[in-house]
């Protein structure tokens, strides 16, 4: 029973009609996975009505409308005297009121003109904007249909949180196909009742009719939230039992070398009290007969890496190996650059292993790991590829732990003999929740920054004042400051996203020659190259314009200015993370939050929180109170929200119910609970 549905869940999205490998990898970026299941767990964030109007005069700026228009003329776009102009299709509605359709992507010019031939009626649907210069405009309509096909345009539409290169149309197409297959293939003859009910709830959530249907307390969302909580809580309960029954043989092993004294001697700075306390807590765990499972929470810049280092060195005293797992190549490289010199001084072999290592070089690294010669291995999930063997893996350190999926985590555990686990996270969980979220993990908190850090000055500014801002930062750039300039993703249209970053880049490049650009549609290698150039102290690249693809932990000490556009669209925790990329050196750093015209009073209030405090815990708490899940950008990266359907604020009673249900002695034999654990990928923190 249920085997087929799990096979279907695990199907790669590229096998869905119309998807293919390129789109599948874009889905991977947004969903954090590329299986049908990953798609199913991705809930729409709201429902957009597409009001059918007779005239643009009946609409307001920003409305999403569907309207019949007659195509009047075409104005070919392109680049004229260095200025980029969009392609314009001039139309008129039934009352002869003008409406211009604009396309920025010049590549598809003929295609658009063919779809909108002069002298014909078309039904179009999209977001309407009014400007003084051009009147009514729709940029990149979501739908263009002939009058006969008008019913192909939905009257309301589920809008999914998206990313670069994925349109809402693609989401709808994939969703429709997935549910068609579900209807066709799965029924009471091959699927359990629990599973069928679960699928039914998913279907309701993926085909919402109103925003109520997506509210936390609507029947189906609440049902899915309960399933998710039950999965987590049962995993936590099982893990607690397993861990208590395991013995950590290493704890009893004798120390062979004395490395810690040396370690403290070669440190270029004095550890903060909080760092020292955390290290002590870890060392006490090492002595215990059960494997360690500890989470270190500390704000960006609080010095978690050094704590991890100390743990690895201590491990090496007994001859055991440690791995430090980073979420990306770039971060692994940065860790390696810092940790390797320290290990050298201590006489410890430290190595790096990422997906880039190939051939002979890789084989040599593997031999060194297998022989036990390499004591500290830094890398990405490549560290846990099937052919990687360890002689005596004692400690697994996971940086930015929320970014790893369960498969990797299970793989890690299996490489060692009940290794100790140490997770590092920069995103604090409000203390009220940490028990329910992390359950059986012990938590150390680094609530202190290294001495001499100058607090970042944070201000907010309406985007109209951007020229004044450019003038203000110019002299600082002259003096050697580096600037991160982050533009957001817009969920509906990848083109206008790219435009946002692209046009800001062009603008800034005029002022600051050699500005870099980095976005998700670029080849990853090129992206890494740009990032590395920016990080290089001596490069001419002073300003880096990017979307949020720039990694969380990247360390550029000379970067002292962080500008975030449309800051109102990000979650507070995500903004705090972004801000943490400056203020790492000895210079005064600045964070400027630019907000758009449509910012709400609440939006301003949220930005004020950030201007007023630098305390990650306060911010996390406020973030939790001020937003609903999924409505803001960056929730994925923000770490402590790892739930798909659970809303921290609204589902507290469900937390308790799920906890009680999971206390059952036979919870490990409960098939449905096990299936849910698989679905929600949550053996993770629970380790089961
Ligand atoms: P995070 O907690 O964000 O991972 P890092 O470990 O990257 O922080 O540390 C940020 C910077 O602070 C690094 O350059 C690191 O060398 C430095 N650092 C760490 N601990 C201290 C300390 N006790 N005193 C001074 N600088 C420190
Ligand atoms: Mg870090």
282 Cα to the center of ligand 2, angstroms = 18
Pick the residue whose CA is nearest to atom 16 on ligand 1: 303
Which tokens hold the place of 61? Answer: 């700026």
At residue 293, the 3 state secondary structure works out as strand
What tokens appear for 234 in the block?
Answer: 């049962």
Q: Is the CB of 450 under 6 A from ligand 1?
A: yes
CA distances from 606 to 365, 462, 537 (A): 48, 14, 34
For the CA atoms of 331, 332, 335, 338, the dihedral, rounded to the nearest 10 degrees, stands at -110
Residue from 279, 295, 306 whose mutation best tests the ligand 1 pocket (most atoms within 8 A of CB): 306
When pLDDT is averaged across residues 561-574 and rounded to a whole number, the result is 87
Distance CA 492, CA 570 (A): 16
Is there an atom of ligand 1 within 6 Å of 302 CB? yes
| 300 CA → ligand 1 middle, Å | 9
The closest-lying atom of ligand 1 relative to the alpha carbon of residue 300 is 3
Residue in 453, 448, 476 with CA at minimum distance from that of residue 583:
453
CB-neighbour burial class of residue 266 (10 A; exposed 0-12, middle 13-18, buried 19+): exposed
Neighbours of 404 (CB within 10 A): 20
pLDDT value at 468 more than 90: yes
Ligand 1 atom at minimal distance to the Cα of residue 305: 6
pLDDT, tens digit, for every residue of 377-406? Answer: 999 888 988 899 999 999 999 887 655 544
Taking a C-beta distance cutoff of 8 angstroms, is the pair 598, 577 a contact? no
- pLDDT tens across 571-628, in order? 787 788 889 888 877 789 999 999 988 788 888 988 999 999 988 878 877 776 665 4
- Dihedrals φ, ψ of 73, to 5°? -155, 165
Least distant ligand from the CA of 399: 2
446 CA closest ligand 1 atom index = 2
Residue 489 banded pLDDT, cuts 50, 70, 90: low
**CB contact at 8 A, 303 and 444:** no
What confidence tier does 63 reach under pLDDT thresholds 50, 70, 90? confident
Residues 6+ apart with CB under 8 A from 71: 89, 90, 91, 116, 117, 118, 119, 120, 121, 122
The CB of 519 under 6 Å from ligand 1? The reply is no
Do the bridges between strand 87-92 and strand 98-103 make them parallel or antiparallel, or are there none, so unpaired? antiparallel
Indicate the burial class of 242 (C-beta count within 10 angstroms; 0-12, 13-18, 19 or more): middle
Percent of the chain at pLDDT > 90 equals: 46
Residue nearest to atom 4 of ligand 1 (CA): 304
> 218 is written with which tokens?
């609507």
Spatial contact of 298 and 274, defined as CB atoms under 8 Å apart: yes
- Give me 324's structure tokens: 């430090």
CA atoms within 13 A on the CB side of 418: 17
How many angstroms from the chain centroid is the CA of residue 506? 27
Q: What pLDDT digit, counting tens, does each position of 655-667 carry?
A: 889 989 988 888 8
Distance from the alpha carbon of residue 269 to the mean position of ligand 1, in angstroms: 9
Helix ranges (H only) for 613-665 are: 616-626, 652-661
Q: Which of 339, 450, 452 to mutate to test the pocket of ligand 1 (most atoms within 8 A of CB)?
A: 450
The residue assigned the tokens 């062009």 is 506
């Amino acid at each position: 029973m249920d085997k087929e549905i799990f096979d279907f869940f695990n199907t790669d999205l590229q096998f869905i009609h119309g998807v293919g490998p390129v789109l599948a990898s874009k889905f991977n970026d947004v969903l954090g996975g590329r299986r049908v299941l990953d798609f199913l767990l991705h809930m729409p964030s709201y429902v957009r009505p597409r009001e059918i109007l007779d005239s643009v005069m009946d609409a307001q700026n920003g409305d999403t409308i569907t309207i019949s228009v007659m195509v009047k003329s075409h104005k070919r776009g392109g680049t004229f005297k260095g200025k980029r102009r969009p392609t314009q299709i001039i139309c008129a509605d039934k009352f002869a009121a003008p409406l211009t359709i604009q396309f920025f992507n010049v590549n598809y010019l003929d295609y658009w003109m063919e779809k909108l031939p002069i002298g014909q009626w078309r039904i179009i649907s999209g977001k309407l904007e009014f400007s003084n210069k051009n009147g009514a405009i729709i940029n990149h309509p979501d739908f263009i249909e002939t009058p006969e096909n008008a019913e192909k345009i939905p009257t309301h539409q589920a809008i999914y949180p998206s990313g670069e290169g994925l349109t809402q149309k693609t989401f709808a197409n994939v969703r429709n196909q997935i549910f068609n297959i579900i209807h066709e293939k799965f029924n009471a003859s091959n699927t359990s009742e629990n599973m069928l009910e679960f699928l039914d709830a998913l279907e309701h959530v993926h085909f919402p009719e109103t925003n109520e249907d997506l509210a936390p307390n609507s029947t189906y969302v609440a049902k899915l939230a309960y399933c998710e909580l039950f999965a987590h809580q049962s995993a936590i309960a099982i893990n607690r039992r397993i861990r208590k029954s395991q013995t950590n043989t290493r704890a009893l092993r004798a120390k062979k070398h004395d490395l810690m004294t040396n370690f403290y001697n070669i440190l270029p700075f004095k550890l903060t009290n909080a760092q020292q306390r955390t290290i002590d807590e870890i060392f006490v765990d090492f002595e215990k007969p059960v494997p360690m499972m500890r989470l270190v929470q500390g704000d960006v810049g609080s010095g978690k890496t050094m704590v991890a280092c100390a743990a690895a060195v201590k491990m090496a005293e007994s001859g055991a190996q440690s791995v430090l797992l980073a979420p990306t190549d770039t971060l692994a490289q940065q860790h390696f650059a810092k940790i390797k010199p320290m290990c050298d001084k201590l006489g410890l072999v430290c190595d790096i292993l990422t997906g880039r290592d190939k051939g002979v070089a890789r084989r040599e690294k593997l031999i060194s790991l297998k022989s036990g010669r390499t004591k500290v291995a830094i890398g990405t999930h490549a560290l846990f590829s099937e052919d990687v063997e360890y002689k005596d893996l004692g400690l697994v350190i996971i940086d930015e732990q929320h970014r790893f999926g369960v498969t990797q985590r299970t793989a890690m555990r299996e490489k060692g003999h009940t290794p100790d686990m140490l997770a590092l996270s920069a995103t604090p969980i409000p203390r009220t929740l940490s028990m329910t979220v992390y359950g059986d993990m012990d938590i150390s908190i680094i609530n202190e920054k290294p001495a001499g850090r100058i607090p970042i000055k944070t201000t907010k500014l309406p985007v109209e004042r951007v020229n004044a801002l450019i003038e203000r930062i110019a002299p600082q750039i002259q003096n050697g400051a580096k600037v991160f300039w982050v533009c957001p993703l817009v969920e509906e249209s990848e083109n206008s996203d790219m435009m946002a970053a692209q046009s800001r880049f062009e603008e800034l490049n005029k002022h600051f020659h050699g500005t870099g650009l980095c976005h998700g549609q670029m080849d990853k290698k090129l992206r890494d190259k740009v990032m590395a150039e920016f990080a290089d102290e001596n490069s001419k690249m002073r300003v880096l314009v990017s979307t949020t693809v720039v990694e969380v932990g990247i360390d550029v000490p000379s970067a002292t200015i962080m500008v975030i556009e449309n800051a109102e669209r990000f979650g507070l925790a995500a903004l705090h993370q972004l801000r943490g990329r400056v203020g790492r050196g000895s210079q005064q750093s600045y964070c400027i939050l630019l907000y758009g015209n449509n910012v709400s009073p609440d939006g301003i209030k949220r930005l004020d929180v950030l201007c007023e405090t630098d305390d990650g815990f306060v911010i996390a708490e406020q973030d939790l109170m001020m937003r609903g899940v999924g409505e803001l950008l960056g929730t994925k990266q923000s770490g402590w929200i790892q739930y798909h359907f659970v809303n921290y604020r609204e589902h507290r009673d469900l937390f308790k119910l799920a906890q009680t249900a999971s206390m059952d002695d036979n919870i490990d034999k409960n098939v449905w609970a096990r299936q849910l654990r698989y679905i929600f990928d949550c053996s993770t923190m629970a380790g089961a």
